[in-house]
């Protein structure tokens, strides 16, 4: 009797765990980027962080080849700086003030703003740059 | 996770989702793969039927009256004759499956040398019997609807050439040439992979198969025989000069610039869908990432990380390579 009850509970627990995993799989992908930056002066009005995350995660521009970006699968790039905690950082590329407008401009053509940078112009459009900036400002610094 | 039987439906969903695709034996795009797929279907259905039959037969003793005698002929029919007949029918059929890859060579047939190295592929195109001098890497282009002969070699350890949508696996053995004929009927982009564990980066030893209509294929071949144009901008020229001066030509070839067969041919690297034999998608960003951190992205591959360049140098080099199309 007791054995049966314990088994039954185990089964229920396992189903609950499974349901949680499935639910998690469907929702986790979007949850890091589902809100805008928590810092007031790092808001990007026309930028959608979810779209920005999709652009970065697609690998089309090769962001993760050089940068470690928390929450994006794959090897963590070591060529450029890690992008976790981007909203708290003072400078872009160690030189430019970290404001949304500067970041958007930098993303579209890094060498134009920082001639000595190693970051190539990866042909990000203005619209994409807005989404990516909005996404980057949601990234938290790793502990 | 697989030990937990309740995760099986989840696993089944994941597996079904991968049935159709660029690298799937369940989505054949050529005659050899189609016949293997057909055999597969027969085997899945047959094995399911046998499992069901055995399951039912196991239940029979529990359903019947104990005092009735067992019909011994049943053993003979289902235990001996049925398997014997099934196997006798299957063996000749199975021996014939996939033989599309063994057809004899015909004149005027396109022939491609595919050489596997730790962890990349080299493809050289031959026209009938004379070498056209066209070599690419990590990308196999085929004309649709034509048999193409592949001569498979290995430079180091045993590799295996496998493009599941087109044909079964064929091993590449050091010191030997293995041959196979593949035919892709449906234009498209497929993915192949090394199918014999070959070392640390075995899983990142992939290639794309681009199946093109004959005319596009011929255009592509013709383009590759034309001389490479001079880089049009100062930045690209700087990139080309750097490419030569820092010694990329010790391993790589860019036609009319440097020549070495130790590493992948880069004459068309900017047109490739992936960098590092499937490690990263193509594009100037990832090319720069690869140059600067090849050992981080694919540890143990033969290229070192060129991480001592200045920013503008890295950009120029990446831009030059991306311009090679």
Q: Which residue in the set B10, B296, B315 is minimally distant from A75, CB to CB?
A: B296
**CA–CA min distance A127, chain B (Å):** 19
Radius of gyration over every alpha carbon of chain A, rounded to an integer in angstroms = 20
ipTM reported for the complex, 2 dp: 0.77
Q: Is the pLDDT of residue A53 over 90?
A: yes
Q: Looking at beta carbons, which residues of chain A come within 8 Å of B287?
A: 62
B256, B243 contact by CB (below 8 A): no
For B203-260, write each residue's pLDDT tens digit: 999 999 999 999 999 898 888 878 778 899 999 999 999 999 999 999 999 988 988 9
**Chain A interface residues (partner B, CB cutoff 8 A):** 14-15, 18, 21-22, 59-63, 65-66, 75, 77-79, 111, 115-123
> Locate tokens 């100062």: which residue?
B234
Q: Looking at beta carbons, which residues of chain A come within 8 Å of B311?
A: 116-119
Distance CA A38, CA A44 (A): 12
Is A118 within 8 Å of B289 when comparing Cβ atoms? no
A107, A93 contact by CB (below 8 A): no
B100 three-state secondary structure: helix
Is B288 within 8 Å of A121 when comparing Cβ atoms? no
For B94-106, write each residue's pLDDT tens digit: 888 877 777 777 7
Q: Is the pLDDT of residue B273 over 80?
A: yes
B28, B165 contact by CB (below 8 A): yes
Is A65 within 8 Å of B286 when comparing Cβ atoms? yes
B297, A65 contact by CB (below 8 A): yes
Task: Give the HSE-up count for residue B232: Cα atoms under 13 Å, Cβ half-sphere.
Answer: 2
**What percentage of chain B reaches a pLDDT higher than 90?**
58
pLDDT score, position A8: 55
Top-confidence residue, B197 or B29: B197
pLDDT score, position B202: 95
């Amino acid at each position: 009797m007791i054995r049966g009850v314990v088994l039954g509970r185990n089964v229920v627990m396992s189903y609950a765990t499974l349901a949680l995993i499935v639910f998690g799989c469907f929702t986790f992908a979007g949850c890091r980027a589902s809100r805008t930056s928590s810092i007031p002066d790092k808001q990007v009005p026309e930028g959608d962080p979810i779209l920005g995350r999709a652009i970065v995660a697609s690998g089309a521009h090769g962001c993760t080849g050089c940068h470690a970006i928390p929450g994006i699968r794959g090897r963590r790039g070591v060529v450029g700086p890690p992008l976790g905690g981007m909203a708290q950082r003072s400078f872009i590329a160690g030189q430019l003030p970290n404001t949304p407008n500067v970041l958007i401009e930098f993303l579209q053509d890094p060498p134009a703003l920082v001639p000595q940078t190693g970051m190539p112009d990866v042909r990000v459009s203005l619209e994409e740059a807005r989404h990516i900036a909005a996404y980057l400002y949601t990234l938290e610094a790793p502990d | 996770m697989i030990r937990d039987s309740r995760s099986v439906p989840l696993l089944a969903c994941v597996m079904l989702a991968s049935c159709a695709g660029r690298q799937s034996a369940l989505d054949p795009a050529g005659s050899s793969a189609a016949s293997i797929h057909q055999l597969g279907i027969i085997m899945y259905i047959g094995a399911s039927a046998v499992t069901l039959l055995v399951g039912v037969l196991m239940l029979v003793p529990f359903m019947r009256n104990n005092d009735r005698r067992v019909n011994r002929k049943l053993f003979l029919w289902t235990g001996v004759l049925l398997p014997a007949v099934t196997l006798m029918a299957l063996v000749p059929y199975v021996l014939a499956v996939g033989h599309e890859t063994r057809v004899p060579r015909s004149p005027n047939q396109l022939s491609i040398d595919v050489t596997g190295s730790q962890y990349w592929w080299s493809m050289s195109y031959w026209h009938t019997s004379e070498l056209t001098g066209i070599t690419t890497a990590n990308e196999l282009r085929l004309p649709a609807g034509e048999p193409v002969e592949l001569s498979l070699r290995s430079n180091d350890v045993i590799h295996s050439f496998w493009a599941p949508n087109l044909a079964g696996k064929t091993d590449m053995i050091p010191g030997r040439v293995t041959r196979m004929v593949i035919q892709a009927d449906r234009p498209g982009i497929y993915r192949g992979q090394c199918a014999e564990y070959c070392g640390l980066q075995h899983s990142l030893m992939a290639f794309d198969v681009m199946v093109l209509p004959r005319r596009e294929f011929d255009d592509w071949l013709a383009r590759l025989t034309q001389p490479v144009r001079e880089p049009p901008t100062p930045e690209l020229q700087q990139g080309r000069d750097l490419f030569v001066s820092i010694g990329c030509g010790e391993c790589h070839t860019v036609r009319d610039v440097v020549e070495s067969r130790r590493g992948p041919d880069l004459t068309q690297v900017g047109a490739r869908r992936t960098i590092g034999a499937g490690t990263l998608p193509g594009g100037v960003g990832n090319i720069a990432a690869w140059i600067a951190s090849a050992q981080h992205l694919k540890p143990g591959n033969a290229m070192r990380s060129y991480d001592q360049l200045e920013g503008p140098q890295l950009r120029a080099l990446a831009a030059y390579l991306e311009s090679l199309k």
